[in-house]
Chains A and B, each alone.
Chain A
Amino acid sequence: MSANLRTPLYDRHLGHKARMVPFGGWDMPVQYAGIAAEHRAVRTAAGLFDISHMARVDFAGPDALKLLETVFTNAVGTMKDGQVRYGLVCREDGGILDDVLVYRWPDGFAAVVNASNREKILAWLGRHQAGLAVAVTDRTFDTAMVAVQGPNAVPLVSGLFPDDVSHLKYYFAARTTYRGRPCVVSRTGYTGEDGFEVVVPNELAVPLWEELLGRGAVPCGLGARDTLRLEAAMPLYGHELNETIDPIRAGLGWAVKLDKGEFVGRAALQAAAAHGSKPVRVGLEVEGKRAAREGTSLTDAGGKPAGTVTSGSFCPWVDKSLAMAYVRPDLSAPGTALDADARGSTLAATVVPLPFYKRKK
């Protein structure tokens, strides 16, 4: 029997005949009707995702800001109440421990952390909170989190909450209620579409899920989440990001504020920003319909090693085979032709600008 964790929506997923897979220590739905159909539903209407596996951590106390400024590469002190900011948690040498979202509230902070990194980040926070007046609380198991993503997300959530969330700006969040219980709604997502992520107490997970389905949201699994984020060129921890890669190489320099003051990894990242000799993240368009999967070796026109694919799939909306890869800096310019070795056959690939897909605003 599986020793994996289950979200409060686990039985609903089985009821919807989802195919379940282990992911980050959890049993999660990888697909319901089919990845391509779910992917298109998010691009054209609205999809509904169970993302309760993501870790949710609260920070309270007078030194909460100090702790977050120490472990987070982006600026926290300049955030407004209700603002959400993306950034990295890095080691001293600049290697990425996780990519996280930080939320600022009038009375504290919250963070959303990758499922597979929950224990690692809690331990890291524990190490850095010594001597600080801050309480770090893991809320992952008291709450559920769902994402409503797509052009119909705004009408879909209309009237669900006593506060109007349609006016929330991108990367802002509101505390409101759902069926009389506290909940958090943020204008965030991982699909390249407009949408919301909603955190509710466990016992309201099924009612919220059913209400959103009743309003026409299409249930989507992690398979579509992966192809959607690939089209939008969003990095995924364990693929584009890991402890041997720094944010500069990953193309996430915009989320590193070297001038905000001291933080863990700052010196190493300053050096990385100044030199830039290591392979960098690029987008690849692959000829034909075959995918260049994670781990595929790339060679340059002269047959020399050029880099390695970190994510690759046929992408249902742009209708192309796309990949992200780390390649030598001299091969990172758009238009550069590379060869991908896919199980013995060579696929022609071209470096293209990221993202592959950008929604019309």
Chain B
Amino acid sequence: MSNPSDLRYLPTHEWAKLDGDVVTVGVTKFAVEQLTEPTYLELPAVGKVLTAGQAFGVIESVKSTSDVNSPVAGTVVERNELLVDDKATRRAADLSLVNDDPFGKGWMVRIKLAPGATLDHLLTAEQYDAQLASEGH
């Protein structure tokens, strides 16, 4: 499996992409394949303060329920509203974006890094590939 080389990864299958001091976060293609067809996603509100490695959301499929963890410390500044129900307009969440394009349109939140926080502790694509290989995937 090839994971994009410009992203960093948590061993629990989240990816992080740094742009200035804002980090975009989602789950990897491998995570989606393990979950199979997400049916529900819970995302934190904008303004929520997260610590690295802490669960910020829940993703469910027909088969299982899993936490989604924050790769970094910081504050949620944006979330992908297309992935959650919009009660006002009655627009249903479109989790096919996560299913079909987990590294792109399926992004989940953008986090403004806490002062001094970095991505240095995260796995590189090469390290994450090696982790998946060592787990037999």
Q: A289–B60 contact, CB under 8 A?
A: yes
Q: Are B39 and A314 in contact (CB under 8 A)?
A: yes
A-B contact pairs, 10 of them (CB 8 A): A30-B63, A31-B36, A35-B62, A39-B62, A288-B40, A289-B39, A289-B60, A314-B39, A314-B60, A314-B62
Is B65's CB within 8 Å of the partner chain A? yes
B17-33: which have CB < 8 Å to A?
Answer: none
Q: Which residue of B lies closest to A289 (CB)?
A: B40
* B58 lies within 8 A of chain A by Cβ: yes
Which B residue's beta carbon lies closest to that of A315? B62
Contact A293 B62 (CB under 8 A): no
Given contacts A291-B65, A293-B65, A343-B65, contact A36 B60 (CB under 8 A): no
What's the least CB distance linking B84 to chain A, in Å?
A: 11
Number of A-B contacts (CB under 8 A): 45
> In whole Å, how far is B20's beta carbon from the nearest beta carbon of chain A?
33
A253 at the binding interface (Cβ < 8 Å): no
- Interface assignment of A223: CB less than 8 Å from any CB of chain B: yes
CB contact list, A275-323 vs B, under 8 A: 288-291, 293, 313-314, 316
The chain B residues found within 8 Å of chain A, CB to CB, are 36-37, 39-40, 42, 58, 60-65, 67
What is A's interface to B at a CB cutoff of 8 Å? 30-31, 34-36, 39, 223, 227, 288-291, 293, 313-314, 316, 342-343, 345
Q: Which of B37, B60, B67 contacts A291 (CB 8 A)?
A: B60
Residues in A neighbouring B36, C-beta threshold 8 A? 31, 34-35, 223
The answer on a CB contact under 8 Å between A227 and B65 is: no
Contacts of A288 in B (CB 8 A): 40
Cα–Cα, bound, A35→B35 (Å): 11
Return the contact of B40 from the options A34, A227, A314 (Cβ within 8 A): A314
Distance A11 CA – B58 CA, assembled complex (angstroms) = 35
Q: How far is A35 from B40 in the complex, measured between Cα atoms in Å? A: 15
Which residues of A lie under 8 Å from residue B63 when comparing CB positions? Answer: 30, 35, 223, 313
The 9 closest A-B pairs by CB, nearest first: A289-B40, A35-B62, A314-B39, A290-B40, A34-B37, A36-B37, A289-B39, A314-B62, A223-B63
